[in-house]
């Protein structure tokens, strides 16, 4: 059933249900905060994807595989992603093939995600070919002639409702589904994605690997719409199957929509808690060198956590080791040859050239061990005076307020 017919049949009931659902959460709830956080990441390149999905890709591969194959372990999955091999493995070889295929599929898709390439039938078949390479059993491959990257040749059904398109209808059903995604892409992205995933699994286009392909292509669609991807956790698979079954029975989207929204929150809630750490560096006894400390004061006034490191940021390095943030934002006075009060981002290789030596260990030395694991941004503000005992100048104080506002709004990333 198309999404148009679905909406015609249920528009009043869905409206009432969604209104009731909205009463359960605050106006700006966790899900909405996570979506806003993702958009602030500006994931536009393959490097951005690697940075933001460094741990996610492993957890996604592990859970997506584990849902259907109990032999898959987190340790083996991490070894494959990080080292390209597993030492002393004695289990089912299929588990290794499946997780190596997950790694290869991630590498294959990330450039396409960065380029926002449309999800197509051809791409879905490529995803399937990669994810199921070397994993078809003898019965499917030899007796039934099924192949990775090809639609099913036999009429397989799935679930209690025994759903699944006929082999001769699979391609046209997928084309219709993807056409609907394009038609409705400017609406509630997660609701459209929920419809896509439920309908894809209903069509059941392949002889094997439909779950893995469905979850991977679901995230692909979300990410090209600038929406955070999700992990469907193995521990939640009972709820997952129940939500899909609800769609199979009545074509209602409520259960799968609610479930996927929950998995988005489950996936990103810890990241939301540790996404940004702000350090203010400076000497409050030396005029405009106190500007970093002033930014921290302004943020704390607005109940936004920020740390005044004073002249000894080295004393706070342990925080980066124990609970590393996604992003470390440092604010300090810097002689950049600008007009007093002007500010800008300073790259790590230029830190020693522009910062005064009134602090302890140079920032470049302190931050070097974290360059590859934490996104580090340094905002420098041109001082007017660094005279001992001088107050913070009015011009630089105004700059501190402007920077605090940019941090609160998230617009500092555009600097």
Indicate if 230 and 301 belong to the same structural domain: no
The number of angstroms, rounded, from the C-alpha of 195 to the middle of its chain's C-alpha atoms is 20
pTM: 0.69
Rounded Cα distance between 159 and 241, Å, is: 9
Write down the pLDDT at residue 341.
Answer: 96
Write down the pLDDT at residue 281.
Answer: 94
Residues sharing a CB contact under 8 Å with residue 298, sequence separation 6 or more, in sequence order: 400, 401, 404
| Confidence check: pLDDT of 44 > 70 | yes
Write down the pLDDT at residue 37.
Answer: 85
| 214: helix, strand or coil | helix
Write down the pLDDT at residue 22.
Answer: 38
Write down the pLDDT at residue 105.
Answer: 98
Query: Which of 68-72, 89-93, 131-135, 300-304 shows the lowest mean pLDDT across its residues?
Result: 89-93
- CATH, residue 348: 3.40.50.1450
Model confidence over 373-411: pLDDT tens digits?
Answer: 788 999 999 999 999 999 999 999 999 999 999 998 888
Write down the pLDDT at residue 9.
Answer: 41
Indicate if 169 and 38 belong to the same structural domain: yes
CB-CB contact of 69 with 95 (8 Å): yes
Write down the pLDDT at residue 21.
Answer: 38
Indicate if 284 and 391 belong to the same structural domain: yes
Domain end position, chosen among 272, 298, 324: 272
As for how many domains the chain has, the answer is 2
Q: Tell me the pLDDT band of 90, cut-offs 50, 70 and 90.
A: confident
Indicate if 193 and 70 belong to the same structural domain: yes
CB-CB contact of 403 with 357 (8 Å): no
Indicate if 98 and 175 belong to the same structural domain: yes
Rounded Cα distance between 137 and 148, Å, is: 11
Indicate if 94 and 226 belong to the same structural domain: yes
| Confidence check: pLDDT of 88 > 80 | no
Q: Tell me the pLDDT band of 19, cut-offs 50, 70 and 90.
A: very low
Rounded Cα distance between 203 and 9, Å, is: 21
Write down the pLDDT at residue 28.
Answer: 46
Domain end position, chosen among 210, 245, 272: 272
Indicate if 304 and 255 belong to the same structural domain: no
Rounded Cα distance between 359 and 284, Å, is: 12
Indicate if 103 and 61 belong to the same structural domain: yes
| 302: helix, strand or coil | coil
Rounded Cα distance between 390 and 303, Å, is: 28
Write down the pLDDT at residue 8.
Answer: 45
Domain end position, chosen among 242, 272, 302: 272
Rounded Cα distance between 219 and 226, Å, is: 11
Indicate if 185 and 290 belong to the same structural domain: no
Indicate if 229 and 340 belong to the same structural domain: no
Indicate if 263 and 311 belong to the same structural domain: no
DSSP 119: P
Which domain covers residue 212, as residue numbers? 3-272
Locate 192 and state its tokens. Answer: 């459209």
Rounded Cα distance between 342 and 382, Å, is: 6
Indicate if 298 and 156 belong to the same structural domain: no
Of 222, 175, 182, nearest to 200 by C-alpha is 175
For residue 378, what is the enclosing H or E element?
strand 375-381
- CATH, residue 81: 1.10.3290.10
């Amino acid at each position: 059933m198309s999404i148009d017919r679905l909406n015609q049949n249920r528009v009043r009931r869905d409206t009432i249900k969604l209104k009731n659902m909205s009463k359960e959460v605050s106006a700006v709830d966790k899900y909405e905060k996570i979506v806003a956080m993702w958009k602030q990441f500006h994931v536009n390149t393959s490097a951005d994807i690697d940075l933001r999905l460094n741990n996610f890709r492993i957890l996604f591969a592990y859970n997506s595989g584990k849902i259907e194959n109990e032999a898959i372990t987190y340790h083996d999955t991490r070894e494959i992603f990080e080292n390209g091999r597993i030492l002393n493995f004695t289990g089912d070889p299929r588990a290794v093939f499946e997780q190596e295929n997950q790694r290869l599929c991630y590498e294959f898709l990330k450039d396409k995600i960065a380029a926002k390439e449309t999800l197509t039938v051809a791409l879905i078949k490529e995803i399937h070919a990669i994810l199921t390479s070397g994993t078809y059993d003898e019965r499917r491959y030899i007796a039934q002639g099924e192949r990775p990257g090809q639609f099913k040749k036999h009429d397989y059904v799935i679930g209690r409702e025994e759903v699944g398109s006929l082999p001769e209808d699979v391609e046209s059903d997928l084309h219709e589904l993807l056409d609907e995604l394009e038609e409705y892409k400017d609406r509630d992205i997660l609701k459209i994605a929920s419809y896509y995933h439920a309908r894809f699994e209903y069509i059941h286009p392949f002889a094997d690997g439909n779950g893995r392909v469905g979850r991977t292509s679901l995230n692909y669609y979300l990410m090209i719409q600038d929406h955070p991807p999700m992990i469907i956790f193995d521990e939640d698979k009972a709820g997952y199957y129940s939500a899909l079954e609800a769609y199979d029975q009545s074509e209602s989207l409520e259960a799968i929509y609610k479930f996927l929204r929950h998995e988005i929150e489950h996936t990103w809630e810890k990241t939301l808690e540790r996404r940004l750490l702000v350090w203010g560096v400076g000497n409050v006894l030396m005029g405009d060198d106190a500007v970093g400390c002033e930014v921290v004061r302004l943020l704390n006034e607005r109940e936004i956590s920020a740390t005044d490191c004073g002249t000894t940021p080295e004393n706070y390095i342990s925080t980066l080791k124990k609970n590393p943030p996604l992003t470390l934002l440092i604010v300090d006075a810097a002689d950049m040859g600008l007009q007093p009060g002007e500010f800008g981002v300073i790259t790590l290789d230029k830190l020693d050239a522009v910062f005064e030596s009134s602090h302890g260990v140079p920032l470049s030395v302190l931050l070097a061990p974290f360059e590859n694991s934490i996104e580090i941004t340094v905002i420098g503000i041109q001082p007017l005076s660094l005279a001992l005992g001088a107050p913070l100048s009015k011009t630089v104080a105004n700059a501190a307020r402007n920077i605090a506002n940019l941090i609160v709004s998230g617009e500092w990333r555009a600097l």
